Amino acid sequence: MCGIVGAIADRDVVPVLIEGLKRLEYRGYDSAGIAVVNDRDVRRVRRTGRVAEMADAAAAEGFHASLGIGHTRWATHGGVTEANAHPHISHGIALVHNGIIENHEEQREKLGALGYAFESQTDTEVIAHLIHHHLKQGNGDLLGALQRVVKELTGAYALAVISRAEPGRMVCARMGCPLLIGLGEGENFVASDVSAVVQATRNVVFLEEGDTAEVARDGVRVYDRNDQPVERETHVSSVSLSSLELGPYRHFMQKEIHEQPRAIGDTIEATIDGGFVPELFGRNAAAVLEGIEGVQILACGTSYYAGLTARYWIEGMAGMPCSVEIASEYRYRQAYADPKHLVVTISQSGETLDTMEALKHAKSLGRAHTLSICNVPESAIPRASELVCYTRAGAEIGVASTKAFTTQLAALFQLAVVLAKLRGRLGADDEAQCLEQLRQLPGGVQQALNLEPQVVAWAEKFAAKQNALFLGRGLHYPIALEGALKLKEISYIHAEAYPAGELKHGPLALVDSAMPVVVIAPNNSLLEKVKSNMQEVRARGGELFVFADQDSNFGESEGVHVIRTPRHVGLLSPVVHTIPVQLLAYHTALARGTDVDKPRNLAKSVTVE
Ligand code: F6R
């Protein structure tokens, strides 16, 4: 969602801000802006639409400065207008904000009574006026005023502030939204995401909840929630620049789909080398995993579907109860909380607000043990978890999650095997077979990618449709859900997924000759059941598009199209069957001419409720 970048240097920082904002574009936004301090004045440019348009306007107006902040906004309070875009300014103080200020109406009223006029409908503008109000009262300098103001705010924020009166520094604050400081040589940066500053520095300090900081050219000082100076560790970011660039691909989503054999290979590397050991999930994992008696998975969207798949593995292999719940539901429920159940959060970004809040809620209900499966090192959710397993997909830029999902599945499969081993439910032969299946997985995924030309032919038919149904059973039902989600979010075709056995309990009413029905039908114990469900569709004139593996023994016939997926890879079959549904969504969206990497109304990191 919204993104922040700020810089102070001897050089012109405007190109740094623009580059940083371009690297934040993937998070999803609908307007962008920068503000700079120059000759004791604050200048600002904002535009709705793309960063490139805002950058052209800044160039046309001759923006150059050695101190500035920038922002990409994803509208929450107030529509997509230039007046609502950040930075917001009050009397020479400019600021950018990620998050939501919940008591903004109360603050707005108070400031109105003090004579402040509002130019926007945002919750953010109150913060700029509040800072000015405190400065006017003589309540300290810019940092002191910010420290006072944040204590008057409820909600979530990452803030970066500059002032024409203090051209030698930026000040910033965080609560509930990520913010980091990038440390350069004689220049420093702030950003909501490391990708925004990685072109300038890899040395980063992650602010903690409640921290404020002052960032000057020659140094950085961080203060804790009690305004006491505090040291925060410097990390060296491992984000690679190539993962942030498109290379020969047309879209990041296409690139990321094709990166999956590598991404999965990296994620399983430690297991292939060292076997299924608890330490894959952190140094103290053995003690924790040995003592648990069940698993509760919390996640949103695609990550939730990874959790649904994992339930089959965990209950089937480890023989322990596993429940999976959408984080935004769990967080508001007085759920039964068994302290012996491990809470597993799954999140690509590691900063999804609902998942973070669900984790906090689980802890408040007495859940002692937590594990985060996450793709972004040092992000908020793993930092709040006892155990961590990082998937090694690399930066995922396309809004629609692809390689993050399949690497989450790889990590969750490893968790299930480790739990099964610890509970004495896996013999040496079974373990060797799991390892072999895992070893073959990147190859199986590559073979599935080779189906692309056949999927393109299907996508041309799908592009003309209004609706689609996806069916799967057992382990492949979550993959049907994932296929439907991918299709709807990037092609805007209405798509729903059902367990195939559920068809006759309602959705069959939707089936006619205009309804394409995608079926995931590998050769497993449910295949004959799936075939019966397919008959139900054909009998109503529905057109079937079946992904069936080499052993499924399916033939094409009228109204039944079949693409043969690679030879069955056992319990990991859902991973392989994910690839063709991703490709179907991608090529259908391409044929419909939608903005594949930045679908309308969606954001990559969902940092608001
Ligand atoms: C769909 C998609 C979303 C995310 C969801 C959770 O393609 O990307 O449904 O999966 O917003 O995000 P993370 O995994 O970052 O917590």
- Domains of the chain (ranges; CATH) run 3-244 (3.60.20.10), 252-449 (3.40.50.10490), 452-592 (3.40.50.10490)
Q: Is 606 in the pocket of ligand 1 (CB under 6 A)?
A: yes
> For the chain, what is the radius of gyration of the CA atoms?
25
CB atoms within 10 A of CB 230: 15
Answer for the pair 606, 354: CB distance below 8 angstroms, yes or no.
Answer: yes
Residue 302 Cβ inside 6 Å of ligand 1? The answer reads: yes
Sheet with strand 560-565: strands edge to edge: 494-499, 467-472, 516-520, 543-549, 560-565
Q: Residue whose CA is closest, atom 3 of ligand 1? A: 301
Ligand 1 centroid–CA 260 distance in Å is 17
Q: Ligand 1 centroid to 295 CA: how many Å?
A: 21
Of all atoms in ligand 1, which is nearest to the CA of residue 304? 10
Residues belonging to the active site = 2, 604
Give dist(CA 550, CA 37) in Å, integer: 64
The model's pTM is 0.83
Helix (H) or strand (E) holding 35: strand 31-38
Summarised one tens digit per residue, pLDDT across range 301-355 is: 999 999 999 999 999 999 999 999 999 999 999 888 889 999 999 999 998 999 9
Does ligand 1 lie within 6 Å of residue 589's CB atom?
no
Give the model's pLDDT for residue 440.
Answer: 94
Is 71:86 a contact under the CB 8 Å cutoff?
yes
Dist CA 35 CA 93 (whole Å): 10
Q: How many CB atoms lie within 10 A of CB 33?
A: 27
Candidate of 326, 349, 408, 596 to mutate for ligand 1, largest count of ligand atoms within 8 Å of Cβ: 349
C-alpha–C-alpha distance, residues 119 and 121, integer Å: 7
How remote is the CA of residue 184 from the centroid of ligand 1, in Å?
32
For 8, other C-beta atoms within 10 Å of its C-beta total: 28
The alpha carbon of 269 and the centre of ligand 1 are apart by a number of angstroms equal to: 24
Backbone angles phi, psi at 330, to 5 degrees: -60, -40
pLDDT score recorded for residue 237: 87
Q: Is 352 in the pocket of ligand 1 (CB under 6 A)?
A: yes
pLDDT score at 567: 77
Cα→Cα distances 469→460, 514, 526, 581, Å? 17, 11, 19, 12
Residue-level pLDDT at 201: 95
**Which whole-number Å values give the CA distances from 230 to 93, 142, 223, 224, in the listed order?**
26, 19, 5, 6
Read out DSSP for 525-579?
A: TTHHHHHHHHHHHHHTTPEEEEEEETTS----BTTEEEEEESSP-GGGHHHHHHH
Alpha helices in 375-526 (DSSP H): 380-383, 403-422, 428-449, 452-462, 477-491
| Ligand 1 closest atom vs CA 606 | 11
Closest approach atom of ligand 1 to CA 299: 16
What are the beta bridge partners of residue 38? 41
300 Cα: distance to centroid of ligand 1 (angstroms): 6
298 alpha carbon – ligand 1 mean position (Å): 12
Which of 256, 338, 345 is closest to 298 using CA atoms?
345
**In this structure, which residue's CA is closest to atom 10 in ligand 1?**
302
Q: What is the pLDDT of residue 535?
A: 86
Low-confidence ranges of the chain (pLDDT < 70): none
Atom of ligand 1 nearest to the CA of 302: 10
Neighbouring-strand partners of residue 499: 472
Atom of ligand 1 nearest to the CA of 400: 7
